């Protein structure tokens, strides 16, 4: 086997393993985080700090009776959770988690798939998640779940538009859609005040784009304050007829989508895998040579990328336990009357700035 | 490591199978979901041809947007089983189907007969596109320079269609309201 094939298999394995382990870890973080914010303890009985609680939950989900209600359409009812989960697993493929490395004379980009359509691939695949909701609601043959799936899918479609438009400004500035290229371009300095250098990160060149992006991402991943697809206390969601592992699969997909959204936010707006402040100095001080230096650099970049993603994942949890839920009409108003015009205005202003050569 | 032919047959086979399912399925929603698989196989074939942008747009627009709309309509109208009366239009449908099939065979025959001469490759070979910076860049540059007028005209056409459908949908509502007001 050539180096290329080994690299492809290793990268894919790495990404999939990380993504699949995100769900249990985040479940623990979320519950402990909720406890922390609400000044209570959260799960702390199973294992140290309650770390094994999610394992216990997973075992419970797996051994629960897998009851299928009599009135559902069996085939679609069965595949709906899979249809939600598969796009969630696929989207991380194009996000670079470290800079390219040269092995045996071949430059290996550190992303599972180096496509020149870049994040268009993510939007394309992510837009398929909505079929799982529609299928789940429709196959349940229950008026409440059909209404729930209608509500969730129209929410996702509405915010998909703002999400896609919010990054157009970045594409105009960097004139590329490739994520690896975009991270590289963000390493240049935007402004420098003496020793403090502000890099050309997306958030500094496109602050409004970032705001719209972040809001749309919360709606797309069905997280509070936009978690109307679930909305346990007031309304019935599309997965009301689901139980046991099938329901857990929906939840798993949500956490994976959160990871993808965080990865995309970091890559587009926070310099991706670029080293955190101070790490560059440490790397320089180690005085390493050749391939060792390369590997240590990749390791450092993976660590920086993970730390940045972890911050965003925490941010999701933080917001969830801070803001109350939106009402459905408020959600749609915000999407169409605020976010959509804002992202269009952002595109126009950015176009003018790019034309003048100011950005 | 040329693995494309195998994948081509997989995608082509899936698309033919599911295209048949689209027309043969009794339930409208099952047809719509089969159509989704067809779009996907097409995207796969485009990706095998190195047209990654077209593949991504195929999934993004057809599978991600247009078909969602189809499914919405099917779900809202609640056409569970075929509501079309097959017996009434049987002869007429048969005649149209025969014409359609004949035209199709004729077209295929024409295409394959003239296909004996080798096809001339255009200026956009995979190598040239790679050298010019990938097909996203090449395609968008062409779209916004040489083909900008047709591109913009298409968007105006789509806008006209949207406004037209809104007017048609609102007409009944407005008339009802004005009657109530009287």
Average pLDDT over residues A16-26: 88
Cβ–Cβ < 8 Å for B60, A120: yes
CB atoms within 10 A of CB A267: 28
Residues of B within 8 A of A121 (CB-CB) are: 52, 56
Residue from the list B60, B134, B135 with its beta carbon closest to the beta carbon of A123: B60
Alpha helices by DSSP H, listed for chain B, are 4-24, 28-48, 52-57, 67-77, 90-114, 126-131, 134-144, 148-181
Residue A136 confidence (pLDDT) above 50: yes
For A303-348, the pLDDT digits (tens) are 889 999 999 999 999 998 888 888 888 888 988 999 999 999 999 9
Closest among B115, B141, B69, B130 to A130, alpha carbons compared:
B69
Alpha helices by DSSP H, listed for A167-232, are 168-174, 179-185, 202-205, 207-220
CATH of the domain at B37: 1.20.120.1200
Average pLDDT over residues B85-90: 62
Cα–Cα distance for residue pair A296/A293, rounded to 1 Å: 5
Who's near B168: CB < 8 A, 6+ residues apart? none
Could you say which DSSP state residue B11 is in? H
pLDDT at B80: 57
Average pLDDT over residues A86-97: 88
- The β-bridge relationship of strands A106-110 and A189-193 is unpaired
For A161-180, the pLDDT digits (tens) are 899 899 988 888 888 888 88
Does the CB of B29 have a partner CB in chain A at under 8 Å?
Answer: yes
**For A107, phi and psi rounded to 5 degrees?**
-85, 120
Phi and psi based region of residue A50 (left: phi greater than 0; alpha: psi -120 to 50; beta: remaining): left
Mean pLDDT of all residues belonging to chain A: 85
Cα–Cα distance for residue pair A3/A46, rounded to 1 Å: 43
Closest among A72, A86, A94, A351 to A238, alpha carbons compared:
A72
Q: What percent of chain A lies above the pLDDT cut of 70?
A: 98
pLDDT at A311: 92
Q: Is residue B139 part of a domain?
A: no
User: What residues make up the domain containing B78?
Assistant: 1-83
Average pLDDT over residues A130-152: 86
End-to-end Cα spacing for chain A: 46
Q: Is residue B101 part of a domain?
A: no
For A40-80, the pLDDT digits (tens) are 988 888 888 888 888 898 899 889 888 888 888 888 889 99
Q: Is residue B21 part of a domain?
A: yes
Average pLDDT over residues A83-96: 88
Q: Is residue B115 part of a domain?
A: no
Average pLDDT over residues A249-263: 90
Per-residue CA distances from A68 to A74, A140, B40, B158 (Å)? 8, 10, 29, 44
Does the CB of B38 have a partner CB in chain A at under 8 Å?
Answer: no
Weakest-pLDDT range from A24-38, B47-61, B81-95: B81-95
Domain locations in chain A as residue ranges: 67-356
Cα–Cα distance for residue pair A24/A31, rounded to 1 Å: 11
Cα–Cα distance for residue pair A29/A255, rounded to 1 Å: 11
Higher per-residue pLDDT: A118 or A322: A322
Residues linked to residue A192 through DSSP beta bridges, in sequence order: A197
pLDDT at B20: 92
Residue from the list B36, B53, B137 with its beta carbon closest to the beta carbon of A131: B36
* Long-range contacts at B52-56 (CB < 8 A, ≥ 24 apart): B52/A115, B52/A116, B52/A117, B52/A121, B52/B135, B52/B136, B53/A116, B53/A117, B53/A120, B53/B135, B53/B136, B53/B139, B54/B139, B55/A117, B56/A115, B56/A117, B56/A120, B56/A121, B56/A124
Closest among A272, A298, A89, A307 to A179, alpha carbons compared:
A272
Residue from the list B29, B33, B56 with its beta carbon closest to the beta carbon of A124: B56
Are the Cβ atoms of B52 and A115 closer than 8 angstroms?
A: yes
pLDDT at A140: 86
Residue pointed to by tokens 């048969």: B94
Higher per-residue pLDDT: B127 or A308: A308
Are the Cβ atoms of A124 and B1 closer than 8 angstroms?
A: no
Residue B157 confidence (pLDDT) above 90: yes
Least CA distance to A175: which residue of chain B? B137
Count structural domains, chain B: 1
CB atoms within 10 A of CB B116: 6
For Cα atoms B119, B125, B127, give the angle at the middle one, nearest 5 degrees. 145
């Amino acid at each position: 086997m050539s180096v290329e094939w080994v690299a492809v298999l290793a990268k894919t394995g790495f990404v999939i393993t990380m993504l699949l382990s995100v769900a249990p870890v985040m479940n623990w973080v979320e519950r402990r985080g909720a406890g922390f914010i609400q000044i209570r303890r959260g799960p702390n009985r199973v294992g140290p700090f309650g770390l094994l609680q999610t394992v216990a939950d997973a075992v419970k989900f797996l051994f629960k009776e897998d009851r299928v209600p009599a009135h559902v359409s069996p085939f679609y009812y069965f595949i709906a959770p899979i249809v939600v989960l598969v796009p969630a697993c696929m989207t991380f493929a194009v996000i670079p988690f470290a800079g390219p490395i040269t092995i045996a004379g071949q430059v290996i980009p550190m992303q599972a798939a180096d496509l020149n359509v870049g994040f268009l691939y993510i939007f394309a695949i992510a837009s398929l998640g909505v079929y799982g909701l529609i299928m789940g609601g429709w196959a349940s043959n229950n008026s409440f779940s059909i209404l729930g799936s209608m509500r969730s899918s129209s929410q996702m479609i509405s915010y998909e538009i703002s999400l896609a438009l919010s990054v157009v400004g970045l594409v105009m500035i960097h004139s590329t859609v490739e994520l690896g290229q975009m991270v590289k371009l963000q390493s240049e300095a935007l402004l420098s005040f003496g020793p403090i250098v502000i890099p050309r990160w997306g958030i500094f060149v496109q602050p409004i784009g970032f705001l719209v992006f972040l809001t749309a991402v919360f709606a797309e991943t069905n997280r509070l304050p936009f978690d109307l697809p679930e909305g346990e206390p007031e309304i019935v969601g599309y997965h009301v007829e689901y139980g046991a592992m099938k329901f857990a699969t929906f939840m798993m997909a949500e956490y994976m989508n959160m990871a993808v959204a965080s990865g995309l936010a970091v890559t587009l707006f926070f310099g991706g895998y670029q080293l955190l402040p101070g790490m560059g100095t440490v790397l320089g001080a180690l005085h390493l040579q050749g391939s060792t230096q390369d590997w240590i650099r990749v390791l450092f970049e993976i660590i920086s990328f993970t730390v940045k993603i972890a911050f965003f994942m925490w941010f999701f949890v933080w917001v969830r336990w801070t803001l109350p839920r939106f009402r459905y009409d408020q959600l749609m108003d915000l999407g169409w009357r605020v976010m959509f015009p804002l992202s269009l205005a952002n595109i126009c202003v950015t176009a003018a700035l790019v034309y003048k050569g100011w950005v | 490591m040329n693995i494309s032919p195998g994948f081509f047959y997989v995608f082509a086979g899936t698309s033919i199978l599911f295209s048949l399912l689209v027309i043969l399925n009794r339930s409208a929603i099952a047809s719509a979901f089969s159509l989704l698989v067809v779009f996907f196989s097409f995207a796969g074939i485009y990706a095998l041809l190195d047209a990654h942008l077209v593949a991504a747009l195929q999934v993004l627009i057809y599978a991600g947007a247009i078909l969602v709309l189809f499914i919405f309509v099917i779900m809202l109208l609640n056409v569970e089983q075929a509501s079309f009366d097959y017996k009434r239009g049987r002869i007429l449908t048969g005649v149209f189907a025969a014409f359609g099939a004949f035209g199709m065979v004729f077209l295929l025959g024409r295409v394959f007969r003239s296909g004996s001469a080798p096809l001339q490759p255009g200026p956009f070979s995979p190598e040239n596109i790679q050298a010019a910076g990938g097909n996203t860049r090449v395609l968008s540059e062409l779209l916004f320079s040489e083909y900008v007028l047709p591109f913009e005209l298409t968007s105006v056409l789509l806008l006209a269609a949207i406004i037209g459908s809104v007017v048609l949908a609102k007409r009944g509502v407005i008339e009802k309201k004005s009657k109530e007001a009287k």
